[in-house]
């Protein structure tokens, strides 16, 4: 068992769902998007991550009790190694983790939810690293890393993690600078009003084409892709207007339109690409039918077959009931607006998962 006097830091971060999609990069290495995106952080889906010194001089990554190797280990180690020790660099430039660490994560984003956990995973890791290296608040020796700068750091692990540094509605500004210093997230609204989201998981199988490969193929071959940035800007403004007025219908209309244009860029790729299935379209048509009855329900889909439905929190149970009746084989996951990351002390971590050791 480790001595809890040893350096230790842990954090919890929540997953998010993009209402205005991130699809295309102007810089692959720095993960700089070609257009803005906007998301809703989800309260029921999160990742907890803890850090402590390695006991044997080697890097370790333990996920849900299983030691990881290969690409999974490399990805988190590469991120930790480039984490900045100075607040002067919003993009990781000065390595902080010269000494190997043990990284322990517990993921509470079920694969069956059809939501990627990379947003919560790298946001939690970034938050914990900031605490571990004493860069939170006033920081050690007067050095600190703001939440905004931290979101730019999280971007280096996963683009969607940029937005999970904040709760509620979050915009990821794509920026103009080549070094990416102006590409970060900003909170818009806590979203704690009559708002809910239902993930309809139709498939948990591995995608034939990864999101990264699909994004690159679409950007290089789709005739519609040059219009994507312009359309996303317009959709973003409509969602921002809806948020300002707490207008679920306006938010939903803009979100749904953005999702359809997002998938249209894939339909028009050469050769065409689609992540949607016949079941996806059945859910889409079911949502349209409910809306004809006056239900405030709107869909969105990422690069995958699963459908997420934005609705009023007050109607979420009724919509879920109808979905279960119509799609009994689908797994449903309900959520409302979630918070930004929090730090977990050693006592809290031990209470949740037992004392960490590797």
Q: All domains of the chain, ordered by start, with CATH? A: 9-192+341-353 (3.30.230.10), 196-336 (3.30.70.890)
Strand, coil or helix: what is 16? strand
Q: Rounded to the nearest 10 degrees, what angle do helices 316-326 and 278-292 cross at?
A: 130
Give the pLDDT score at 113.
60
Whether 87 has a pLDDT exceeding 70, the answer reads no
Q: How confident is the model at residue 322 (pLDDT cuts 50, 70, 90)?
A: very high
Whether 197 has a pLDDT exceeding 80, the answer reads yes
Give the pLDDT score at 137.
73
Per the model's pLDDT, the better-predicted residue between 93 and 212 turns out to be: 212
Percentage with pLDDT > 90 across the chain? 77
Give the pLDDT score at 203.
83
* Torsion over CA: 212, 332, 247, 284 (sign): positive
Q: What average pLDDT does range 260-282 have in this prediction?
A: 95
Per-position b or e across 28-65, b if 16+ CB within 10 A of its CB = eebbbbbbbbbbbbbbbbbbbbbbbeeeeeebbbbbee
How many CA atoms, within 13 angstroms, populate the side-chain half-sphere of residue 298? 23
Whether 293 has a pLDDT exceeding 90, the answer reads yes
Query: Mean pLDDT for the chain?
Result: 90
Look at the pTM and tell me if it is higher than 0.75: yes
């Amino acid at each position: 068992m480790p001595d809890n006097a040893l350096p230790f830091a842990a954090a919890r971060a929540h997953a998010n769902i993009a209402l205005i999609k991130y699809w295309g990069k102007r810089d692959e290495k720095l993960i700089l998007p070609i257009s803005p995106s906007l998301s809703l952080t989800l309260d029921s889906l999160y990742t907890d991550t803890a850090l402590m010194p390695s006991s044997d001089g080697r890097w370790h990554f333990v996920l849900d009790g299983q030691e990881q190797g290969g690409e999974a280990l490399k990805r988190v180690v590469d991120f930790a190694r480039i984490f900045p020790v100075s607040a002067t660099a919003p993009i990781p430039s000065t390595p902080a983790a010269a000494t190997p660490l043990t990284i322990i994560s517990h993921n509470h984003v079920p694969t069956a939810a059809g939501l990627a956990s990379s947003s919560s995973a790298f946001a939690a890791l970034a938050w914990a690293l900031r605490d571990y290296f004493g860069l939170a608040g006033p920081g050690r020796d007067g050095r600190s890393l703001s939440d905004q700068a931290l979101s730019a750091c999280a971007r280096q692990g996963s683009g969607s993690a940029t937005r999970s540094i904040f709760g509620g509605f979050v915009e990821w500004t794509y920026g103009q600078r080549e070094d990416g210093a102006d590409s970060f997230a900003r909170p818009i609204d806590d979203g704690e009003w009559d708002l809910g989201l239902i993930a309809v998981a139709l498939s948990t199988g591995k995608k034939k084409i990864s999101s990264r490969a699909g994004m690159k193929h679409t950007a290089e071959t789709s005739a519609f892709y040059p219009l994507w940035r312009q359309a996303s800007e317009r959709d973003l403004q409509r969602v921002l207007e809806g948020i300002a007025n707490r207008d679920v219908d306006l938010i939903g209309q803009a979100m749904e339109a953005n999702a359809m244009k997002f998938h249209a860029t894939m339909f028009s790729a050469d050769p065409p690409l689609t992540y949607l299935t016949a079941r996806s379209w059945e859910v889409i048509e079911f949502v349209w039918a409910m809306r004809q009855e006056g239900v405030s329900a709107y869909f969105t889909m990422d690069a995958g077959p699963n459908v997420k439905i934005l609705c009023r929190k007050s109607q979420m149970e009724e919509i879920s009931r109808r979905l279960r009746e119509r799609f009994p084989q689908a797994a449903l996951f309900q959520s409302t607006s979630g918070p930004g990351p929090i730090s977990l002390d050693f006592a809290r971590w031990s209470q949740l998962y037992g004392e960490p050791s590797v």
